[in-house]
Amino acid sequence: MKTLQSIKARTGEPLGAPLCASTPEQVDACASAAGAAFGDWSSSDGGTRAALLRGLASALESDREGLVALADEETGLGPARLNGELDRTAFQLRRFADIAERGVAFEFVDDPALAGAPPIGHPAMVRQRVPLGPVAMFSASNFPFAFSVLGGDTASALAAGCPVVVKAHSGHLLLSNRVIGLVQQVLKTQGLPAGLISMIQGGGNDVGVRLVRHPAMAAGAFTGSTRGGAALQAEASARPRPIPFYGELGSTNPVVALPALLASKGAELAATLAGSISQGCGQFCTSPGLIVLIDSPESDAFVAQLTTALTAQNPHAMLTPGMRKAFDAGVEHMVSAGARPLLQEAGTPEAPRPFLAQVDAASFIAQAELRDEVFGPSSLIVRAGSVAEVLQVLQAVGGSLTVTLWGAQDESEDTRALVRGAMAIAGRVLFAGVPTGVAVTAAQQHGGPWPSSTQPMTTSVGDAAMDRFLRPVALQDAPAWLLARKGQPC
């Protein structure tokens, strides 16, 4: 039997006893149990779903001290950050509880019959939504609470009426096992089947692939690398019955800073940006990995200010030894592709130093390797000669979760063009602040064109995340008893 070992992020030492990887039989059992739980849960009312989600939020909060301490050992993210993330996770669960209780999943369009011949006349139609089915949810490395066992994917799937099988991330195995223990207690207390929310674990890709391939699974949700997400998406598409795969993948999150604003606020913006690049050791999907400047004295001064500000940053240890090695490899790959280092210092085996490099726009556009995400406290400055060249840089990026436009507050031909260019490649466009920090709210869009996500029409954060797990169905000339259910599946 394969075993897994949790690691202390700050030292690389083993943490706790080895854990057993899920066997193929255990993966199949969890998927089948989710399938068995689907019928009743898909037809449950909003109150039942809300009660579960609120119970899960309370369970997290009741074990806060133990959960945060364990998460800190496994991730090195620090109690302040982890307490805030636990708060966010509980908030997400309760927000989706409110959404379920309001009956958002059961909203329908009533289109009464209209007399006459087609195309004007038509029968009575009701358009409602039904849950897709069990969801294979892949935990993220960088958010051990908010994108893990009880993260936004799980909360939104449950609110939609879908059971969940979680694939735990190897970077926080002990925490995941503790959380799933709380989950099972809540399910038992509320008289719900254990298969409604279950968890598997494994160090390689065989466990996750088997889960995606299982015929009971109806959708996948993933947050992680482009390579890993693309492989799982291919598995989801290659099934005899393909299923949707909602992957949030790699993103460079360009920040475009115009000279006029840099002239008045350059030092302030440099300090803000340096903090964003280093925040969480750069292990955010919205970390600003690309800075696009137009050649000017103001941009020259800003590069110097940013270099100084980054030098003062002290990132903590990365989540896993593998990520630490990948960061170094990504930096070297960027340099070998032609980027000129401006700040490159040796770090510790666990914690890297910030990295900053620069390249001209023509080289960036020509060299695909320069557009790869480097997961960690790293950013690449791209120097453009004009707004037109900035737009070519954005087009070369192809897809990003965010684009930030600093200095576009006044309307002009240039700012209109920049907004169009940013909206063409990003799910969220910012005009102030930095992209790190994703609000859980009604208007949020956390997803963009490839390679930032596999489904740019959907979001993994915010109220609309639930829509991923609901499928529209039209009922024509439906009987009165069915209409009386007001959109609740039977």
Nearest to 263 by CA among 290, 299, 294, 305: 299
CB 313 within 8 A of CB 409: no
Cα–Cα distance measured from residue 460 to residue 445, given in angstroms and rounded to the nearest whole number: 8
- Structural tokens at position 147: 């994108």
Cα–Cα distance measured from residue 132 to residue 489, given in angstroms and rounded to the nearest whole number: 12
Return the H-helix or E-strand segment holding 125: strand 125-131
Return the H-helix or E-strand segment holding 97: helix 79-101
- Structural tokens at position 306: 């940013």
* Residue 184, strand partner residues: none
CB 36 within 8 A of CB 195: yes
Cα within 13 Å of Cα(361), Cβ side: 20
The single-letter DSSP state of residue 250 is -
Cα–Cα distance measured from residue 144 to residue 82, given in angstroms and rounded to the nearest whole number: 8
Which bin fits 117, alpha (ψ -120 to 50), beta or left (φ > 0)?
beta
Cα–Cα distance measured from residue 262 to residue 128, given in angstroms and rounded to the nearest whole number: 50
Cα–Cα distance measured from residue 142 to residue 148, given in angstroms and rounded to the nearest whole number: 9
Please give the distance of CA 121 from its chain centroid, rounded to a whole number.
Answer: 45
Q: Please give the span between the terminal C-alpha atoms of the chain, in angstroms, as a whole number.
A: 42
Nearest to 2 by CA among 171, 202, 177: 202
What is the dihedral angle through the alpha carbons of 157, 230, 440, 50, rounded to the nearest 10 degrees? 10
At what angle are helices 64-75 and 46-62 packed, to 10 degrees? 70
Cα–Cα distance measured from residue 213 to residue 56, given in angstroms and rounded to the nearest whole number: 28
Give the 3-state secondary structure of residue 483.
Answer: helix
Catalytic residue among 30, 162, 281, 285: 285
Cα–Cα distance measured from residue 151 to residue 137, given in angstroms and rounded to the nearest whole number: 10
State yes or no: is 285 an active-site residue: yes
Phi, psi (degrees; rounded to nearest 5) at 62: -70, -25
Catalytic residue among 73, 85, 248, 298: 248
Q: Which residues are catalytic?
A: 248, 285
